[in-house]
Amino acid sequence: MSGSDPSQCPVIVTNSDAFYLDPDSALPEGPRPAVARSEYGYEFLSYPVVRQAFRDKRMQPRDVDYFRSIGASEIILEFIRDGNLNFMAPDKHDRIRPILVKAFTTSRVDSFRPEMRRIANGLIDRFIGEGHADLVGQFCHEYPISVISQFVGLPGEDVPEVAAATMHLRMLGQKPFEPGMPVLEKALRYLFGHISQVVDARRAAPPRDDFLGALIELWDGDDQLTDGELVWSVSFMLLGGHDTTRYTLSGSLVSVLEAGLWEQLAADPAPIPDVIADSMRLHPGTPRQMRVVHEPLEVAGHVLVPGDLVSLNMSAAGRDPAVFDDAASLHCPRSDPAYDIGFGFGRFACIGQTLARVEMAEAIGALTRRLANVELAGELRLKPTGVVAGFDSIPVRFIARAEQPSG
Ligand code: HEM
Q: The CATH number of the domain where 258 resides is what?
A: 1.10.630.10
Ligand 1 neighbours (beta carbon < 6 A): 61, 85-86, 97, 148, 236-237, 240-241, 244-245, 248, 285-286, 289, 342-344, 348, 350-352, 355-356
Residue 406 domain-assigned (yes or no): no
In angstroms, what is the span from residue 288 Cα to ligand 1's centroid?
12
Q: Where are the beta strands (DSSP E) in 287-344?
A: 288-293, 297-299, 302-304, 309-313
Q: Give the model confidence (pLDDT) of 242-299 as tens digits.
A: 999 999 999 999 999 999 999 999 999 999 999 999 999 999 999 999 999 999 999 9
Which ligand 1 atom is the nearest neighbour of the CA of 286? 5
Residue 405 domain-assigned (yes or no): no
Q: Whose CA is closest to 46, among 351, 254, 312, 374?
A: 312
Q: Among 56, 232, 233, 244, which is best to mutate for testing ligand 1, by the most ligand atoms less than 8 A from CB?
A: 244
Domain that holds residue 34: 6-400
If one compares 262 and 39, the residue with the highest pLDDT of the two is: 262
Distance between CA atoms of residues 108 and 174, nearest Å: 34
The whole-model pTM stands at 0.95
Q: Give the model confidence (pLDDT) of 89-120 as tens digits.
A: 999 999 999 999 999 999 999 999 999 999 99
Q: Where are the alpha helices (DSSP H) in 205-293?
A: 211-220, 227-240, 243-258, 262-267, 272-282
Which ligand 1 atom is the nearest neighbour of the CA of 347? 41
Which ligand 1 atom is the nearest neighbour of the CA of 360? 1
Which ligand 1 atom is the nearest neighbour of the CA of 345? 15
Q: Give the 3-state DSSP-derived string for 230-253, with helices as H, strands as E and coil as C.
A: HHHHHHHHHHHCCHHHHHHHHHHH
Residue 45 domain-assigned (yes or no): yes
How many structural domains comprise the chain?
Answer: 1
Q: Is the dihedral of CA 59, 171, 356, 34 positive or negative?
A: negative
Q: Give the model confidence (pLDDT) of 40-64 as tens digits.
A: 999 999 999 999 999 999 999 999 9
In angstroms, what is the span from residue 373 Cα to ligand 1's centroid?
34
Residue 407 domain-assigned (yes or no): no
Residue 182 domain-assigned (yes or no): yes
CA 116 remoteness from chain centre: 18
Q: Whose CA is closest to 363, among 314, 318, 405?
A: 405
168 membership: H or E segment, kind and range: helix 159-168
In angstroms, what is the span from residue 254 Cα to ligand 1's centroid?
21
Q: Whose CA is closest to 189, among 165, 212, 170, 167?
A: 165
Distance between CA atoms of residues 387 and 262, nearest Å: 29
Residue 194 domain-assigned (yes or no): yes
